């Protein structure tokens, strides 16, 4: 088939350089599959045009991918970790070469701004740099034994195949968070990209396969499967895949978590967020507006860390509300490849319907639209995926406020009294991913990040809820899943722990002083 993407902002040339233009894409370990699977198309939410088609992985092809991964693991795990790091370094350098092209594809296929697309590729580069350093620091412990002439140690070994299920909103970065760490740990990876952004997955696979071929390494080190949830179910139920890292909705995560737990496998779950910023009377208003507005409308509200709730002290509520409204009125909505625009489209018309339904539910439950939502029409909005960022005054106990809607809807909530009341509102949802407080009050700042403060995996002071750096472990608590990806010691999730005791004496004393004489 012929890809139909027009040469808007150089996207057609970028597709060609990434090897995702004008062909049907398969889903084997790197080359085009047999094409026997069901074909599904990738349409851009930017202009509604067909970018390309992908064939879903068949059961037979899935077996080929898993067997290739198993075979590659045998030799990959024996390669010294710094040598594995060298491969990841080369992959990171190749990403630098393709940064603009891949950033454009992310923007065009997913709908986020081009600057955010570039930022996502930069996250991939950053995690590769992190992983290269990590490859020389994978460490265990030495432990003093109670027995003479005995040495105890703890070390970490690779698990095998790491299954990765990623979501459409970060179609390349989250895969890299997982796979860069897993590779230096000695694991091999099988990735199921989102069926809503499959060409981003094909492009990344093409880049890594180039690196593997240049180093005479097996393609099974990086495998890919494509399709809907049914393809993902094969992996979550497969005992040959000891760990599955899944990013997506809470509903999806519960299904994956139960399936993996049923076979006593490991899961890394990074699920939904219902993130809030507390605005204290001691907040810097300018910083508050920047953090709140970007958090709410960045990626059209389709980040798991998007700001969904703004909890404002009643003494400054009207002032903050007006400043946020003024900022919203300055936003430009349109083609995300045009860097003059702030907000691009939602991923598809299903997301638009969810957005509209959430607004109606909020109004039914007593919410007041401060800035009305709606679907944009006319020139430049032909895809039907562009919507107006919406602001609604609400209560935290509204059922719709308790839910995560992947769209640019910001709920304004009031609190009175001290920051303890605001923290109770912030924590009063089932999700626990990201949170923030805007304050210049030292006591409030420390209270927010203390044990009795935010119950989220991420708690920020004087920055927004989105925009995490790769150096820190990323993930959340409660129904966000408890998994951690990216930095810190998240690498341990991709490895198995082993305790060793070495006896270098001529005796065999037993622990705890037990006597067993023959």
Contact 263, 239 (CB under 8 A): yes
- Catalytic residue from among 185, 204, 304, 385: 304
Contact 347, 42 (CB under 8 A): no
Instruction: Provide the token pair at 417.
Output: 């009294």
- CA–CA separation, 130 and 316 (whole Å): 42
Q: With CA atoms as reference, report the closest residue to 112 among 308, 306, 377.
A: 306
- How many C-beta neighbours within 10 Å does residue 430 have? 13
- Residue 200 catalytic? no
Q: Scanning the structure block, which residue is given the tokens 């939602």?
A: 346
- Catalytic residue from among 12, 219, 270, 485: 270
- Residue 185 catalytic? no
- CA–CA separation, 172 and 207 (whole Å): 12
- CA–CA separation, 115 and 173 (whole Å): 14
Contact 391, 369 (CB under 8 A): yes
H helix count then E strand count, the chain = 15, 22
- CA–CA separation, 368 and 313 (whole Å): 18
Instruction: Provide the token pair at 20.
Output: 């995702």
Contact 170, 204 (CB under 8 A): no
Query: Could you give the residue numbers annotated as active site?
Result: 270, 304
């Amino acid at each position: 088939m012929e890809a139909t993407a027009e040469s808007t902002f150089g996207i057609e040339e970028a597709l060609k350089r990434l090897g995702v233009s004008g062909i049907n894409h398969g889903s084997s370990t790197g080359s085009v599959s047999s094409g026997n699977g069901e074909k599904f198309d990738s349409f851009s939410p930017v202009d509604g045009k067909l970018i390309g088609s992908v064939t879903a992985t068949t059961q037979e092809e899935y077996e080929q991918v898993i067997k290739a991964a198993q075979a590659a693991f045998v030799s990959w795990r024996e390669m010294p970790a710094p040598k594995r790091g060298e491969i990841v370094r080369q992959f990171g350098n190749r990403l630098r070469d393709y940064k603009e092209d891949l950033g454009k594809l992310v923007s065009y296929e997913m709908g986020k701004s081009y600057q955010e697309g570039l930022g996502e590729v930069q996250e991939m580069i950053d995690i590769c740099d992190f992983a290269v350093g990590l490859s020389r620091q994978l460490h265990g412990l030495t432990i003093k034994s109670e027995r003479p002439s005995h040495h105890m140690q703890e070390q970490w070994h690779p698990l095998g195949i790491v299954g990765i299920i990623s979501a459409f909103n970060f179609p390349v970065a989250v895969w890299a968070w997982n796979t860069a760490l897993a590779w230096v740990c000695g694991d091999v990876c099988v990735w199921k990209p989102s069926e809503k952004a499959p060409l981003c997955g094909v492009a990344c696979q093409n880049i890594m396969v180039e690196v593997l071929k240049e180093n005479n390494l097996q393609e099974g080190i990086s495998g890919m499967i494509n399709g809907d949830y049914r393809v993902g179910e094969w992996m979550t139920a497969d005992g040959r895949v000891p760990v599955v890292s899944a990013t997506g909705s809470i509903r999806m995560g519960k299904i994956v978590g139960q399936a993996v737990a049923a076979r006593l496998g490991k899961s890394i779950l990074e699920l939904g967020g219902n993130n809030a910023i507390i605005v204290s009377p001691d907040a810097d208003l300018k910083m508050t507006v920047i953090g709140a507005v970007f958090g709410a409308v960045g990626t059209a509200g389709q980040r798991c860390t998007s700001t969904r709730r703004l909890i404002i002290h009643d003494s400054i509520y009207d002032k903050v509300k007006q400043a946020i409204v003024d900022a919203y009125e300055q936003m430009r909505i349109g083609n995300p490849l045009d860097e003059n625009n702030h907000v691009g489209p939602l991923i598809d018309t299903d997301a638009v319907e969810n957005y509209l339904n959430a607004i109606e539910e909020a109004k039914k439950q007593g919410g007041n639209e401060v800035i009305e939502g709606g679907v944009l029409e006319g020139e430049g909005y032909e895809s039907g995926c562009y919507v107006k960022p919406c602001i609604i005054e609400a209560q935290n106990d509204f059922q719709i406020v308790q839910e995560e809607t992947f769209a640019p809807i910001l709920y304004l909530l009031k609190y009175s009294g001290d920051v303890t009341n605001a923290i109770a509102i912030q924590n009063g949802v089932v999700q626990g991913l990201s949170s923030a407080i805007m304050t210049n009050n030292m006591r409030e700042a420390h209270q927010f990040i203390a044990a009795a403060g935010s119950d989220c995996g991420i708690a920020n002071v004087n920055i927004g809820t989105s925009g995490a750096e790769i150096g820190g472990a990323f993930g959340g608590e409660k129904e966000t899943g408890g998994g951690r990806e990216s930095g810190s010691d998240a690498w341990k999730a991709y490895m198995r722990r082993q305790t060793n005791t070495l006896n270098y004496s001529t005796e065999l004393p037993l622990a705890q002083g037990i006597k067993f004489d023959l």
